[in-house]
Each structure stands twice: as structure tokens, then as C-alpha cells.
Structure 1
Amino acid sequence: MDTPYERKVAGHVVVAPDKFKGSVSAADAASAIARGLRTAAPNLTVVEFPIADGGEGTVEMMIRQGYTAVTCAVIGPLQQTIPATYALRGGTAVIEMASAAGLAHLGTPEPTSTTARTASTRGVGQLMRHALDRGAQRIVLGVGGSATTDGGAGALTALGARILDSCGDPLYPCGQDLADAAVLDIDSLDPRLRDTEVVVACDVDNPLTGPRGAAAVYGPQKGADSNTVTRLEHALGQWADVVGATVDRDLRHLPGAGAAGGLAFAMAAVLGAQLTSGIDLLLKLTSFTDIVDGAACVIVGEGSLDAQSLRGKGPVGVARAARHIGAPAVAVAGRCMVTDADARTAGFDAVYALTDLESDERRSMAHAKALLEQIGSIIARDRLSHPPTHQHDRAGAAPAVAHRP
């Protein structure tokens, strides 16, 4: 007779984690979990489908699903020339704004108040124009991981717009200089944009300005001290006034307008872009429901499963998509910071945390691949080789999240 681990499981398993930030990439996390599953259940069919939700890894996700990688030189956030890659298939281009204006391109160990004031999204606009040159008629812009708080001014100038001060002189499109903005001239915007669908994939609902706005909430993460946050808030308010006067609508309070330091605001207000859930859009573009159809289980994951995760980030979006077609979802996290009830509401049948196997967080991060592989084996044992007989599951230890009937 076959052992429980050797019995053929009905249906395949989809392993669809996001990155474990500061530890392993989404692809490495998927491979480690899959190795554990196959070790414990050799007959199991495992599909690795690492994900992203608009931030780092978005372009890589699309390339793995058949998009072509396109690389070009752009101006980075601090005016340096850098290579940036986007994904293209047919008339759809998927651009990861962080590849042109992300924190990794600051050239400093940590962001500073100076970089927070002067970083620009010019390179993002250059990527968009390059995609138009390659025939793109739809541009999907993932906006996670930005180093900028320029309200999208840099991207607009790269697309042909001009920003002028009260004397009619052009301004450099960075956060601090927007305080002097008086006129936005969009007469020379690339005319191809009129026939181009622009979609912003974001996972936040922050407005451009105010206590929940781009400067107040995300400025400190980009190096801004309290004085710089105040200056950037004032500059973004002035920018919103100027843009509103030009396009005859004020979108500073639009949910999501504060994404990527206000890049989403400029795309929506000036280009008419649609702001939508990053993970939902990317799953649609990659036909994820076809991959999950008939699956015995979907395993999601990220470094920290917390309150921010529950607001629609990658793993929750995947769990929602899986539940919609009847596949149970299990979460793997570096650490779990949510209650059992919240995890169930988010669609997780169980949560397995690396910290249940290694309580020291630094060691857990350092040995994440090995721990993920171990958890893959535990999941195969607990949930795939035989029906669960317990009411709750937590990786190898205490109960966490109730199994959904």
C-alpha cells in the first residue's frame, strides 16, 4: 500500500508566492516550496507561478508568462543614465516604474532628504515613450517601490509636457521644484497617448495630499525628514492646483492618486489612466484562472503577512482569485501578524510561518530557502496527501487558521 505521502493527489498544486522582501525573490520562494512539496509527495504535480503586484518583480513575472523583455537607457531618479527593462507582448507593454525611478537607483546606501526632494520620474516617461515606439497601444504601469515624490511631473515632461514657473521659465520636474509651478503646458504631449490606454496597477488607496497622502505617508520611507515632508506636501498641493487648472478637474483626493509619490495622480489626471488593483490586473493578463482551474490547492506567500497585506496585496489577491473558482488557498509567510479571523476573511485556509520553525527573525530570513522547503513538505503532509483531520493549522506547531469547510 502507498504511504500517505505517495498517494496521488487529485488535482495539481499552484505555488504562487510574492517575494519575501530582504530574503528571497518570488521565484526562489516558489522553487523552495515546490521542492518541499515534491519531496513529501513525489506524485504531486506542482506548478510554480511566482507573482508580483505592480512593484519589484512585475516585469519578471510577465516575461515568465511569455512577454518579451525590452531594455533601453533612461534617466534615473537622480539624472544618471541607467538601463531599464519592460515587458511587451502584442500591443501591451508592462512597465515597472521602479526599474527607472526606484529606490535601488539612488546610488546611496539609504535614501536621504536630498534624494527625497530631487528624485524624478523622467525615466518612467521615457520607458512609456519607448513602448509607444514599439507599437504599444496599452501601457500597464506598476507603481511600487518608487524613490520619488514628484507627482508624476517627471514622467509628463518626458512625454512632452512643459512645467513653467510664474516667469515662464521651465522647471526641473522634481518634488521640491513643484512649489514654484505655475503653468502646465500639455500642447506638446506625445499625440499617440490620445489613442493609448494607460492603466496604473497599484495596491494602495492613498490620495495625493493630506495626512494620508504621498508625502505624509511614504515620504519618510524615501528619506524625507519632517521638514522635507512639509515642503513636499506644499509642493504637491501647488502641483495639484496647476494640473487641475489645466485639465479642469481636481483628482488630488482620488483613492490611489498618491501611489509612487503621485505618479498615479499625473497619469489619471492628465492621461486619463485607470487606477486598478495591481494583483488583479496582472493575474488577468497572465490567465491565472486557467492555471488554477482544477487545482487541489494554491499556496501563496510573502515576507510579512500583516494588516497592509489584507488591503489587497498580492497574496490576498491570489487567494481571492483561487476562492472564486473553488480552490483552497494556504499562505506561507516569514512572519504572521494577523488574527485567525482576519486570515480566514482574506481567504486563507491556513497560515504557515517561518518564525514557527525558527523564532529568531534574523536567522529565519537568513535561512529562508531551507525553511520554505521544510514548510512545503509540511503542507504536503498536512493538507495534500490526506484530508486534514484537525480544525487548525500552523506550520509544525500551534493552531492558526481554521480549515474552510
Structure 2
Amino acid sequence: MKNKKFIIMPDSFKGTMTSMEICSIMKKSLLLHFPTAKIISLPVADGGEGTVDAFITANGGQKIDLNVTGPYFKKIPAFYGILPDNTAIIEMAAAAGLPLVGNKRHAEQTTTFGVGELIKDAIDNYNCQKIIIGLGGSCTNDGGCGMAAALGAVFTDTVGQQFIPIGKTLHNIASIDISAIKENYSGVCFSAMCDINNELCGSNGAAAVFAPQKGADAATVDLLDNGLYHFAAILKTQLQKDTLHLKGAGAAGGMGAGIFAFLNCDLKSGIDIILNTVNFDNICEDSDIIFTGEGKIDQQSIQGKVISGIAQRAKKHAIPVIAVVGSIDNDIDAVYDLGVTAIFSINRQPLSFSKSAPHSKNNLYLTMDNIVRLIKLFPNKNIN
């Protein structure tokens, strides 16, 4: 009988467990029942906090620490990752993330300039010619203008004055010159991890949907949305980049639109980028079961998120996928068609999140223990 082979690829359970903590708990349970099993742990992050650590854990590499311009134009410590193949992983949350501003949330005043400094350092100092940018967890709404300015873009207003646009001044942009970016970085391959389909403006746009959690009241949301409409018009007329209805353009305060226009960057599903980077199709060969999970499985999980992305790939190889989650929403039957074999919630009692959260790690372990006991009792062809 061959040794079992399991792959563990969970997203984080936001507010309770990181993806690496989940991997450790799942692995502990599996090894208790299958002590000789080969277990491959690949923690997953969606582009926000933890993305760099997840990539380095899965692929190896190094973390680069440096000081950059923070959300309010003051220097802060930040970082990015470089994989063994010299691909740089830029986690925009490291320089423009919501936790960096604490309770001082003013989406109209923050900048992505530090994100551009991370990118610039990776290219100029380490010659990284492939850059993966994680879009998520931002405190900004500047359309990526700060990032572009750090890379050499020049923004001018109606009287010819140069400035670095932020959310509340997007409407002041009269011209954009990105010749320096083209000259210095046109040979670099940029891609972005983007797991939302929100457009740049309107009721489903960056300002309306995400700015309130970044401190914006109704009047500020209108200000930001109007600025993004103006920004989109400038991008179309001057850079010939149509971002108004681009899916994902509204990610990270309009950063999706900015990197598409300024860096000619593709917006791709985060999980697809991760699966390709770790050579998933090769790694999963001869695997018995793949364990994945996230805090809540819902309609978004079906639309290109971690669980559905893994399931669709695994289905091609006829490998069962078990999703262990915090909670299960209604109307998620479609996820089974995508390739998920079974879904289990770790919640053992009908408690509110605030009461169940402190017990999440123990509940996950106990849930995994029951799942693995069942696998041992009823082996199928994949685990014989």
C-alpha cells in the first residue's frame, strides 16, 4: 500500500486564523492518523495581508525589508518578497494597507506611493523582471496614481503644476505623462492578483462599495466617485486605456484601473496566479485528497475565489477536494459542480462569531479529526 499524499491549500479565516496556522492544524490532524503520509502545505492569500509570506512558504525565496512612503506620506517600514526564480511579490497592503492607518481612516487623503517604491526597488536593485502585485486590504482610493508617480509618472493640473494625486484631488488631473515608466519598465512583466469584479465607478465601484470601510461618509464617497469618473476619462483620452467598465478596475481603491493603464498589467484571478506559480498541476499528481477552506463559503466563493479555483483544477485530475470552512451560506450548490467533493463547517455550536472565534483553532482541529477518521473508515480508490 502506497503512502498517502495530501495537499493542504487553505485561505485564511479572517479574524481568527492565518492560512499558515490552518495548514499547521490540518497537518497535525492528518499525521496523527496517517503518520507516513506525504503532506504538501501551500498556504494561500488573496492578494492582501499574508500574500508575500504565503508565496515564500510555498516556493522559497527571501523577504526584502525597506522603508517606503506610507499612506499619509510619512516613512514606514515595509517589505516585499523575491522568489527563487527572481519573481517579485508585491503586497500592496504592506505599504498602503488598512491596518497601517489604524483608526485614522481617510480614504480621500491616502496614497499608494509606497507601493510604487516597492516595485521600483525590486526592479532597480534586484533586477526582477516579473512582478506579481497583490491587490487587497488597501486604505487608499487614488486609482494607483501614487504608485505611478513613484515610478516616474508626471501628473499636472489645469495650470501646469505637478502634483501627486490622492482621492480628493483626482478631479484636478489635467494631464498624465508616463513616458518615464515606458522607458524604464516596459520590459517588465506585471500581473495583478485581483479577486473582485467591481468596476471603477458607480454603485458597484471602488468608492461606493469599499470607501465606507476606509472612513468615507456619503459626501466623501460622492467626491471620490466623481474623481474616479474624471480619472477614467483622462486615462481613455490621453493613454487610450478604457477602464470605466473594466472588471476589477475598482479593486484596492481603483488600483486595478491604475496598474492596467500605467503598467499595462493584466488583472488575473489570485488563485490562478498562485496555482501557476507553485506548479499545481505537477504537485497534485498522485495526490489522494486536497484540503482547502476559507472563513465563509458563499456566492463569492463560486466566482473565482480560492475554493472554486482549486476545485476546478483538481477536477481535471479527478482528485477529491474537501473544503473546511467557518460558515456555510445558502445557495452554494454550484460549488459542487465546480469540483468540491464535500464541505464541513468547524462551528460545533450555534454561537455568534464573537463567541465562537476564540475557539476556532480547537474547532478546526476537532473537525479535521472527524473528517480524517471517516476517511480511514471508508477508503475509496484514491486513498487505498
- What SS does structure 2 have at the residue aligned with 1:195? coil
> Partners in 2 of 1:143 and 1:84 — Cα distance?
16
Aligned to 2:4: 11
Which deviates more, 224-233 or 61-70? 61-70
Deviations 1:32-79 (A, max 9, x none): 122122223434333222111322221111211112211211111111
Q: Which runs of 5+ in 2 are unaligned?
A: none
**Which whole-Å CA distance do the structure 2 matches of 1:314 and 1:225 have between them?**
32
1:187-266 paired onto structure 2 within 5 Å: 187-189=179-181, 191-266=183-258
In the alignment, structure 1 residue 161 sits paired with structure 2 residue 156: no
- Secondary structure class of the residue paired with 1:53: coil
Of 268, 279, 282, 1:290 maps to 282
The question of whether the paired residues in 2 share the 8 Å contact of 1:36 and 1:375 is answered with: no
1:220 Cα deviation from its structure 2 partner? 1.6
Counterpart Cα distance in 1 of 2:376 and 2:343: 15
Report the CA distance shift for 1:322/1:382 in structure 2 as closer, same or farther (over 3 A): same
Is residue 80 from structure 1 mapped to residue 71 from structure 2 by the alignment? no
Alpha-carbon deviation of 1:358? 6.0
Cα shift at 1:329: 0.4
In the alignment of these two chains, the number of paired residues is 377
Q: TM-score, normalised by structure 2?
A: 0.93
- Counterpart of 1:93 (choices 88, 97, 100) is 88
Does 2:128 match 1:136?
yes
> Within 5 A, what are the aligned runs for 1:58-137?
58-64=51-57, 65-89=59-83, 90-106=85-101, 108-109=102-103, 112=105, 115-133=106-124, 134-137=126-129
| Alpha-carbon displacement from aligned partner over 1:276-332 (angstroms, at most 9, x marks no partner) | 111101111111222221111101011111222221112221222222222110111
Distance 1:16 1:104, change over 3 A: same
Corresponding position: 1:20 with 2:47: no
RMSD: 1.8
From 321, 327, 340, the counterpart of 1:329: 321
State whether residues 271 and 309 of structure 2, in contact with CA within 8 Å, keep that contact through their aligned partners in structure 1: yes
Partner in structure 2 of residue 53 of structure 1:
46
Q: Secondary structure in 2 aligned to 1:116? A: coil
Task: Report the residue type matching 1:365 in the other structure.
Answer: A
Aligned to 1:30, the other structure's residue is in SS state helix
Deviates more, 1:178-187 or 1:350-359: 350-359
Secondary structure in 2 aligned to 1:315?
helix
* C-alpha deviation, 1:379, in angstroms: 1.3
**Is 1:172 the equivalent of 2:164?**
yes
Deviations 1:251-276 (A, max 9, x none): 22111111111112111112211111
Equivalent residue of 2:294, what SS? strand
Query: CA 1:9 to 1:146, structure 2 compared with 1: closer, same or farther past 3 Å?
Result: farther
Give the TM-score, by structure 1 length: 0.88
Aligned-pair identity (%): 35
Distance 1:333 1:164, change over 3 A: same
Alignment partner of 1:219: what SS?
Answer: helix
Deviation at 1:357, TM superposition (A): 4.9
Shifted more, 357-366 versus 305-314: the winner is 357-366
Counterparts of 1:223 and 1:187, CA distance in 2: 34
One-letter amino acid matched to 1:183: S
Could you tell which deviates more after superposition, 209-218 or 358-367? 358-367
Distance 1:382 1:142 in 2: 37
- In structure 2, how many angstroms separate the alpha carbons of the residues matched to 1:55 and 1:244? 28
> Could you tell me how far apart the structure 2 residues matched to 1:124 and 1:30 are?
29
Task: Give the CA deviation at 1:377.
Answer: 0.8
